[in-house]
Structure 1
């Protein structure tokens, strides 16, 4: 059962196309897991569409004299285009919907299917691959953690979204499963770990700050790790 979901303001921002691309991709992927959030999102989209239509009805007519004169020519052009013979359908290669990592195959949400062949960076129990989705200072990655793996304790200089795609991860007293949309910021210090391995989609807008042990030596280069 999915425990962690995006907030209504975030769903509204997605419906209005106001989210940074990495966050929009993460939210779209979550909605593939979560019918409840997909339904909420559809409601916000319909609300915005009705608002737009209401505003359009009250706006003054915008048709100019020149546009009115061109209308018959436009209709003739449209009719000619529609009358053109349709091309024969071509066979296209169906995109794979699985990703291979550590000898295992995991299903991917449709919105992430194009990234099924990443070049992983491998550090200990963690494999990471940056995705070409940077926008508004936010960066996205695929993250795989081997069974029993742990991320050293850290906090955040900005925000961190973790969308669990497969497996499970323990963070504090909560075990998260596939579909969970986990939001963390500077108010959180945590050291998530996975008992059976997990695949995640992550978004950050600033480097993490490691807080304990030798991992603090990474803080000087943490800007290269997100």
Structure 2
């Protein structure tokens, strides 16, 4: 509920907002709750006394109208119900990808994990797709910051449960886990981080100094 409230209030980062928006394409309950929270916020605004806008603030707002938008979209594919493109990917994510999963530049991290980084214009958060081979796992790791995860294809399991397309998880700093992709299909997830993950097992700790945040 806290994340939905922050979304409705517009206080989440740009990358987090994009991830939550993609989740709403799968989850009607979260979307409806957010709409209700926005209605409450709008009603509260109506009860407030108006505040005069000074010339300095007005000029600042007008100057920003000429700035380039933080998200650069290619032409989207024709959408189907639920705000998803013909291949089932949320339309917003499809625009950021500019193609299909196979068109992305995947960086191999381990034998089972590859990552493709996307640009949102958010300089504080990494916005990336994680591909875990069917039956493979991401080594034991914790997080130096927060992590949002949205399953797009396949699924994975960890100590909290099993997740399928559309499922959303949120982990705080220092929460450790080792996601394992379900058998039969590669798992592709969207992950939004504000700090690099950190491997905790002795076999992969040597990689930690090389794991940097790809924000922007």
Provide TM-score, normalisation by structure 1.
Answer: 0.72
Provide the alpha-carbon RMSD of the alignment. 2.5
Tell me whether 1:218 sits opposite 2:204 in the alignment: no
Moved more, 182-191 or 156-165: 182-191
Unmatched runs of 5 consecutive residues or more in structure 2: 54-74, 80-85
State the 1:106 CA deviation.
Answer: 5.3
Distance 1:60 1:180, change over 3 A: closer
> Which structure 1 residue ranges, 5 or more long, are not aligned?
1-7, 63-92, 98-104
In structure 2, the CA distance between the partners of 1:48 and 1:216, relative to structure 1 (3 Å rule), is: same
Structural mapping, 1:1-226, within 5 Å: 8-55=1-48, 58-59=49-50, 95=77, 107-114=88-95, 115=97, 116=99, 117-123=103-109, 124-135=111-122, 137-172=124-159, 174-195=161-182, 196-223=185-212
Higher helix share: 1
Cα deviation, residue 163, structure 1: 0.7
Shift of the 136–17 alpha-carbon distance from structure 1 to 2, 3 Å rule, reads farther
**Bigger Cα displacement from structure 2, 180-189 vs 140-149:** 180-189
Question: Residue 89 of structure 1 aligns with which residue?
Answer: none
Local SS of the residue matching 1:51: helix
Aligned mates of 1:94, 1:130 — CA distance in 2 = 19
The structure-2 alpha-carbon separation of the partners of 1:183 and 1:125, relative to structure 1 and needing over 3 Å to count, comes to same
Contact residue 145 and residue 174 of structure 2 kept, 8 A: no
- Rg (Cα) greater in structure: 1
* Conserved? CA contact 2:194–2:213, under 8 Å: no
Task: Report the number of matched residues.
Answer: 181
Find the aligned partners of 2:7 and 2:77 in 1 and give their Cα distance: 25
Contact 1:142 1:200 in 2 (8 A): yes
**Would the alpha carbon gap of residues 198 and 60 (structure 1) be closer, same or farther in structure 2, given more than 3 Å must change?**
closer
Secondary structure of 1:107's counterpart equals coil
Contact 1:165–1:201 (CA<8 Å) still a contact in 2?
A: yes
Q: Offset at 1:197?
A: 1.8
> Kindly tell me: are residues 94 and 202 of structure 1, through their superposed partners in 2, closer, same or farther at Cα, counting changes over 3 Å?
closer
Q: Secondary structure at the match of 2:208?
A: helix
Distance 2:51 2:129 in 1: 49
> Does the 8 Å CA contact 1:155/1:185 hold for their aligned counterparts?
no
Shift of 1:94: 5.2
Q: Do the aligned partners of residues 44 and 166 (structure 1) sit closer, same or farther apart at CA in structure 2, a change above 3 Å counting?
A: same
